[in-house]
Structure 1
Amino acid sequence: MTDHRVERRLAAILAADVAGYSRLTGLDEEGTHVRLRERLRGLADPRISEHRGKVVKHTGDGLLAEFGSVVDAVRCAIEVQRGMAEQNATVPQVKRIEFRIGIHVGDIIVDENDIFGDGVNIAARLEGIAEPGGICISDDAQRQIRGKVDIAFEDMGSQNLKNIAEPMRAWRLRMNAGHPPGAPIEPPLESAQALALPDKPSIAVLPFENMSGDPEQEYFSDGMVEEIITALSRFKWLFVIARNSSFTFKGKAVDIKEVGRRLGVRYVLEGSVRKAAGKVRITGQLIDAITGAHIWADRFERELTDVFALQDEVTVAVVSVIQPKLFQTEIAMATRRRPENLTAYDLFLRAMQQFYLSTREGLAETMKLAHRALELDPRFGLVAALAGTCHMQNVVWGHAVDPQFDRKEAVRLLRLALSIDDDDPDTIALVALTSAFMVGDHESEIEMADRAVALNPNSFRAWSSRGHVYRIAGLPKEAIQSFERAIRMSPVDPLLHRSITGMGFALIELCRFDEAIVAGKKALRQNPSYSLAHRCLAAAFAHLGRDAEAREAAARLLEVDPTFTISGWIARGGQSNAKLMLEGLRIAGLPE
């Protein structure tokens, strides 16, 4: 019998992974794999060798490395993150590969070419709570680098790490934190010009920090913030930035004055959420984005069963500071109809997290989660509208295996949503949008879209839906006005290319082809693989007689959507009033 002794040694362990890897692969699986391999082989691996480390293995979305010195490990991590930031400078936000890095020093088990043990597990868990582009280290590691690394780590306090028995103190490095006040933060989209302040109190709610110690609870923290944004937006005398623009700052070290400048708001709300042991705690602080002064801060705690009451408390507290004179009717309006089943609400939050990914896989997962939520709470109107929108998008985006089934489900669900709740602006907006593509009752859809923006003039979703409804109904001027309002509600939205392209389509129907080209190019700078933007350019160039550019745009369209045909697009719905658009596509030589 062979005596197989386990080899142990003390080492510094570095674990790295790619933030949002599933979203990136959903957008471009092969391209993401190639770019990650280039970053590992061209940047991370050489830096590890230079700092006397050893790459133990490449994982699917990152790597594991071992160092004899934690000082070497931390210096290496800083160089890797700086190198990644430089390489990402010219890459669109939606395609950026950003590492999260965790470092711990501890005992490891060595088995042939791999390492195991608590030391490795802790490094991996620290990586999980690091910010994209940031570094998180254990207290043991921090003690050893103190005075030896010329950069300051920020104390995160005690953290509950998944599958680690005892809470651990952790420290983080935000790579942008050393920038001088007022230095430009990394722009999520191409434009960084200051926006004029609206003529009423204006506010943006930044993503709250998830303090639960479990990265899988991120959806809950994000959902709480979204509910607060929705409630605030019901106050018609406020101007509230939409969720998607606020969330472009997630995981970044931000200068509040710069956030205010970029979003065109006076106030910024930030905070944290902790969900543990059947309770939810929210801390929040309201900051004047012009002066940087803290106006208000407070902490709220409730039982998990009172989560909606907690959201309302935070909303009313914030609004009370901005506008002391509150009316009970407005507070009542700001409190949306709540789902009766908390598990259904939990599934809804998870569904929305998938919905915002805008990928085929994300759409499928949203539908699955939304239907499960609806089974648990059949009177949850907004989740019925969400499920109906997903079935519609399945058809319009060409993902449907059985388009006829998805059409019927979309119509059934939109009718169900309206029968449950015909007074919620988000529900009405989703129903109007779904109906515009699937039904085509323009008079009814316009009425619903108008009602949605009247109920909530701060809703990006309502204004964007109204733009599509009016465009599909053959009213391009009104569509452009709606898209412009939507863009102001969410000026750095990662999905802004959709509203900009919708404007481009409407401009074509008004024979404003030069402006449509500007819109199409702007949309493609934000998302080069967005096929509708290529359609916009192909049609606009064709109408201007710029044949070579029209053919090039048509070729690019077929590269990103090889099965595209004009008749297939018409069959998916919503193109009956896009006569000049369809004519332009035919002139550009696209297949019928």
Structure 2
Amino acid sequence: MERRLAAILAADIVGYSRLMEADEADTLARLKSTRENLIDPKIIAHKGRTVKLMGDGALVEFSSVVDAVGCAVEIQETMAECNAELPKEKQLEFRIGVNLGDVIVEGQDIYGDGVNVAARLEGMAEPGGVLISGTAFDQVERKLGFDFEFLGEQQVKNIEKPVRLYRVGPRARVPSGTVPAKRKPYVEWRRLTVAAMALILAAGGVALWKVLSDGSGPPVEVASKTRMVLPLPDKPSIAVLPFTNMSDEAGQEIFTDGMTDDLITDLSKVSGLFVIARNSTFAYRGKPVKISQIAEELGVRYVLEGSVRRADEQVRVNAQLIDALTGGHVWADRFDGNVADIFAVQDVFVAKIVEALKVNLTTTEKTEIARAKPDNIAAKEAFEEGWSLYLRYNAQDTAAAIASLKKATELDPEYGRAYAALALAYFRVVDSLWGKELGRDEPYFWFGAHDYIELAKKYPTSLSYTVEAFRNAYQGVAEDARRDAGRAIALDPNDPEAHIATAWALTISGEPAEALNFVATAMRLNPNYPSHYVLARGIALFAIGDLKQAAEVFEEGVRRNPDATALFLPLSSVLAQLGRREEARQMLLKFRPGVGQKGLENLADSIHQSFKWDYEHESVRERLNDGVRIAALPLDVTVTSLETALETDDPFSQQYAAKRLGWFGPAALQAVPALVEALKVEYLRREVIVALGKIGPPAQAAIPALVALQNEALVGIYAKDALSKIRGN
């Protein structure tokens, strides 16, 4: 019997039976969403392990009491915020109890008094409250900045000795001489400067506002809704332009870009805002473009611009938020101070912008914004350099990005976002077949990406959930991919990559129509979208069967980016299946210049495909490969020529013809009678049956012959599969 000391968190929902009786389906859906999007991420962030779920309750094990109590309080604070926006009948309230005690371990489950006390405390807690035992209190009293109210000793059911009880207060306070758990002293010191920064910012902002309102700033032309390329969202929409580097020192562009990127990243986590992605706003860097034009091209109402001047360890930041529809300044501010305070300044800027746009910033959003920031300025600059290089989408810059991102993790080993970015960069090398160009085979980068994901999971951010979603999609675990992408979207609603990850998860699991909605959202958030958005959209259209529109999407993507090699193969496949074989062949030759006929014909079987379809939807992948195979055939190989070859007495030519007729799918309809006749030849049956299945519903005439073969020992399973495809089952 294995025993260990553990911190146990027990939780359940208040009035669960009443909620289920009122609306069972809605209650279950909201409970599932709450667990996946709010509670599970906090358990993971605090290094907890969910032992089991019990309908309306949960039992979670932690190795640290500090983590257990911190997690409990964060859950209750988040739930209180969520409930404040809901009618009483829709609110979910939890009771939570936390105990430190000895437990018995059996497999993945735990038992014993340590668990029993936690369960009893949960039942005694107030709705929305946290109750902890004396053993837990003794470990956290001077480590967590919460109010603890001693409720005395009480006898609990089936426990021999009375248990000291403490109610954890809803508001945090930092006792003298203590540092809250899981936070470095520097972080706490930095946050104590926020109030002082706010006063400095307010004074500077008043001065800047006066300059702007006096008309000494540049005139701002008014944007027009009728000229908007994209319709305005139904929430405040904002584009953050690259801040201007005003520094006299060389090499400060990275620091300035980092300021811009941080503001975009922080604002994008606010669910009440619509924030344009970095790719699209950085396209305006250094260009003399009017605010009105930017607003009209990106489809936003508000534009944030600013400047940064750095000299040694001193920095000055100016920022202004402009309403493009009125030309007026919604907010303006300035900061003068030390570089070490820059993160606190960013927090204040975000809070001020959110306040100016009359949007609520939830506790969860505040926590996620703070969590993403490192403490090491040098690590942050290395990350910004690497992230900027990563977003250029070519082999050389990706290699340089990897070097910079590795440096960021060396400077700050707990930099979760940098680990996640490294995983993305490694996956891109695999997707784009850049391994040899970067000095390694693709498998090296494939396994390296998985290693970095595991490191990112230790310090979770929205980006780490996004990259984990991509990994699960790569491996064909669609349900897990959807879950992780959902967590990423919950933490960062404006992250287009999380929406693309969701789209892939839906496509590979047989829901390509729904996937298109997520691709559309990603493209709206990032109007200057990269080619892998095009790939996601085109493959979803292909999976639906809309070859014509898929071709248009891929062709437009190649026109936008002639170096988007990931689009070449799917485009060649679609063109071939549309009968545009000469164009399809030219696209293959563009993908592999100088390759011979044999090399072309081997492409479909030798190219790595990033995403793995669910078993029941693998036919989509096979159709995609068959199109590439058609594109690789000599142009004089047609359905008619293959039909003729099938009717010869040469076994090799017959097998060759039967297999290739299957590649043409429904376009090989005219060959169905010849294929049915070929079923009489035993050594051809398997290839012929597979070909008829690929032709699908147009091969109705083959049904009687296939029915007669479905119980045959060697080919029966293939006959049944072909019948299912022809009948459309």
Using the TM superposition, name which of 561-570 and 406-415 deviates more: 561-570
8 Å Cα contact 2:244/2:306 also seen in 1: yes
User: What secondary structure, in the 3-state scheme, does the structure 2 residue paired with 1:578 have?
Assistant: helix
Residue of structure 1 in register with 2:532 after alignment = 498
User: What secondary structure, in the 3-state scheme, does the structure 2 residue paired with 1:335 have?
Assistant: helix
Residue of structure 1 in register with 2:171 after alignment = none
Distance 1:201 1:362 in 2: 34
1:480 aligns with 2:516: yes
Residue of structure 1 in register with 2:336 after alignment = 301
Residue of structure 1 in register with 2:503 after alignment = 467
**Identity between Structure 1 and Structure 2 (%):** 34
Q: Which runs of 4+ in 1 moved over 6 A?
A: 560-564
Residue of structure 2 in register with 1:362 after alignment = 397
Distance 2:442 2:523 in 1: 31
Q: Give the counterpart of 1:275 among 301, 306, 310.
A: 310
> One-letter code of the match for 1:484?
A
8 Å Cα contact 2:272/2:359 also seen in 1: no
Residue of structure 1 in register with 2:465 after alignment = 428
Deviations 1:435-464 (A, max 9, x none): 433x44332222111221122221122112
User: What secondary structure, in the 3-state scheme, does the structure 2 residue paired with 1:417 have?
Assistant: helix
Once the two structures are TM-superposed, the CA of residue 404 in structure 1 deviates from its matched residue by 3.0
Distance 2:566 2:393 in 1: 14
What 5-or-longer segments of structure 2 have no aligned partner? 1-217, 635-662, 664-729
Distance 2:472 2:337 in 1: 39
Distance 2:513 2:629 in 1: 24
Once the two structures are TM-superposed, the CA of residue 508 in structure 1 deviates from its matched residue by 1.0
Question: Where in structure 2 are the equivalents of 1:17-96 lying within 5 Å?
Answer: none
Residue of structure 1 in register with 2:445 after alignment = 406
Question: Where in structure 2 are the equivalents of 1:62-211 lying within 5 Å?
Answer: 194-211=229-246
Distance 1:489 1:330 in 2: 19
Which of these two proteins has the greater Rg computed from alpha carbons?
Answer: 2
8 Å Cα contact 2:273/2:359 also seen in 1: no
After superposition, the Cα gap between the structure-2 partners of 1:214 and 1:266, relative to the gap in structure 1 and judged at 3 Å, is same
8 Å Cα contact 1:388/1:434 also seen in 2: no
> One-letter code of the match for 1:419?
K
8 Å Cα contact 2:263/2:346 also seen in 1: yes
After superposition, the Cα gap between the structure-2 partners of 1:505 and 1:179, relative to the gap in structure 1 and judged at 3 Å, is farther
1:415 aligns with 2:454: yes
1:570 aligns with 2:614: no
Once the two structures are TM-superposed, the CA of residue 418 in structure 1 deviates from its matched residue by 1.0
Residue of structure 2 in register with 1:50 after alignment = none
After superposition, the Cα gap between the structure-2 partners of 1:532 and 1:231, relative to the gap in structure 1 and judged at 3 Å, is same
User: What secondary structure, in the 3-state scheme, does the structure 2 residue paired with 1:588 have?
Assistant: helix
After superposition, the Cα gap between the structure-2 partners of 1:469 and 1:366, relative to the gap in structure 1 and judged at 3 Å, is farther
1:521 aligns with 2:558: no
Q: Give the counterpart of 1:371 among 390, 398, 406.
A: 406
> One-letter code of the match for 1:408?
F
Distance 2:569 2:377 in 1: 43
Deviations 1:121-144 (A, max 9, x none): xxxxxxxxxxxxxxxxxxxxxxxx
Distance 1:560 1:205 in 2: 45
User: What secondary structure, in the 3-state scheme, does the structure 2 residue paired with 1:570 have?
Assistant: coil
After superposition, the Cα gap between the structure-2 partners of 1:547 and 1:488, relative to the gap in structure 1 and judged at 3 Å, is same
Residue of structure 1 in register with 2:625 after alignment = 582
Once the two structures are TM-superposed, the CA of residue 396 in structure 1 deviates from its matched residue by 2.2
Residue of structure 2 in register with 1:259 after alignment = 294
Once the two structures are TM-superposed, the CA of residue 474 in structure 1 deviates from its matched residue by 4.7
* CA RMSD between the two structures: 2.9
8 Å Cα contact 2:280/2:526 also seen in 1: yes
After superposition, the Cα gap between the structure-2 partners of 1:426 and 1:251, relative to the gap in structure 1 and judged at 3 Å, is same
> One-letter code of the match for 1:567?
D
Residue of structure 2 in register with 1:231 after alignment = 266
Higher relative contact order (CA 8 A, sep 6+): 1
After superposition, the Cα gap between the structure-2 partners of 1:338 and 1:325, relative to the gap in structure 1 and judged at 3 Å, is closer
After superposition, the Cα gap between the structure-2 partners of 1:344 and 1:445, relative to the gap in structure 1 and judged at 3 Å, is same
Using the TM superposition, name which of 341-350 and 400-409 deviates more: 400-409
User: What secondary structure, in the 3-state scheme, does the structure 2 residue paired with 1:296 have?
Assistant: strand
Once the two structures are TM-superposed, the CA of residue 561 in structure 1 deviates from its matched residue by 9.4
After superposition, the Cα gap between the structure-2 partners of 1:326 and 1:183, relative to the gap in structure 1 and judged at 3 Å, is closer
Once the two structures are TM-superposed, the CA of residue 374 in structure 1 deviates from its matched residue by 1.5
Residue of structure 2 in register with 1:544 after alignment = 578
8 Å Cα contact 1:210/1:273 also seen in 2: yes
8 Å Cα contact 1:411/1:435 also seen in 2: no
Once the two structures are TM-superposed, the CA of residue 513 in structure 1 deviates from its matched residue by 0.3
Deviations 1:505-548 (A, max 9, x none): 12111110011011012102211232232323211122222333
After superposition, the Cα gap between the structure-2 partners of 1:300 and 1:590, relative to the gap in structure 1 and judged at 3 Å, is farther
After superposition, the Cα gap between the structure-2 partners of 1:404 and 1:492, relative to the gap in structure 1 and judged at 3 Å, is closer
Using the TM superposition, name which of 261-270 and 445-454 deviates more: 445-454
After superposition, the Cα gap between the structure-2 partners of 1:590 and 1:234, relative to the gap in structure 1 and judged at 3 Å, is farther
1:290 aligns with 2:325: yes
> One-letter code of the match for 1:207?
P
User: What secondary structure, in the 3-state scheme, does the structure 2 residue paired with 1:265 have?
Assistant: coil
User: What secondary structure, in the 3-state scheme, does the structure 2 residue paired with 1:286 have?
Assistant: strand
> One-letter code of the match for 1:227?
D
Distance 1:474 1:561 in 2: 35
Deviations 1:385-411 (A, max 9, x none): 111222222222222223333222211
Once the two structures are TM-superposed, the CA of residue 217 in structure 1 deviates from its matched residue by 1.4
> One-letter code of the match for 1:585?
V
Distance 1:561 1:498 in 2: 25
Distance 1:273 1:384 in 2: 28
- What is the number of residues matched between the two proteins? 403
8 Å Cα contact 2:223/2:324 also seen in 1: no
User: What secondary structure, in the 3-state scheme, does the structure 2 residue paired with 1:253 have?
Assistant: coil
1:489 aligns with 2:525: yes
User: What secondary structure, in the 3-state scheme, does the structure 2 residue paired with 1:338 have?
Assistant: coil
Deviations 1:212-267 (A, max 9, x none): 13452111111111110111111111111111111111111111111111111111
Distance 1:326 1:407 in 2: 38
After superposition, the Cα gap between the structure-2 partners of 1:396 and 1:369, relative to the gap in structure 1 and judged at 3 Å, is same
User: What secondary structure, in the 3-state scheme, does the structure 2 residue paired with 1:323 have?
Assistant: coil
Deviations 1:325-368 (A, max 9, x none): 55555434433332233322221111112111212111111111
Once the two structures are TM-superposed, the CA of residue 290 in structure 1 deviates from its matched residue by 0.9
1:508 aligns with 2:542: yes
Distance 2:303 2:420 in 1: 30
Distance 1:425 1:510 in 2: 30
After superposition, the Cα gap between the structure-2 partners of 1:194 and 1:402, relative to the gap in structure 1 and judged at 3 Å, is closer
TM (normalized to structure 2)?
0.52
After superposition, the Cα gap between the structure-2 partners of 1:529 and 1:511, relative to the gap in structure 1 and judged at 3 Å, is same
After superposition, the Cα gap between the structure-2 partners of 1:587 and 1:179, relative to the gap in structure 1 and judged at 3 Å, is farther
After superposition, the Cα gap between the structure-2 partners of 1:534 and 1:394, relative to the gap in structure 1 and judged at 3 Å, is closer
8 Å Cα contact 1:432/1:445 also seen in 2: yes
8 Å Cα contact 2:242/2:281 also seen in 1: yes
8 Å Cα contact 1:470/1:476 also seen in 2: yes
After superposition, the Cα gap between the structure-2 partners of 1:529 and 1:403, relative to the gap in structure 1 and judged at 3 Å, is closer
User: What secondary structure, in the 3-state scheme, does the structure 2 residue paired with 1:492 have?
Assistant: coil
Residue of structure 2 in register with 1:346 after alignment = 381
Distance 2:337 2:503 in 1: 40
Residue of structure 2 in register with 1:137 after alignment = none
What 5-or-longer segments of structure 1 have no aligned partner? 1-177, 185-191
> One-letter code of the match for 1:404?
P
Once the two structures are TM-superposed, the CA of residue 293 in structure 1 deviates from its matched residue by 1.6
After superposition, the Cα gap between the structure-2 partners of 1:304 and 1:488, relative to the gap in structure 1 and judged at 3 Å, is same
Residue of structure 1 in register with 2:178 after alignment = none
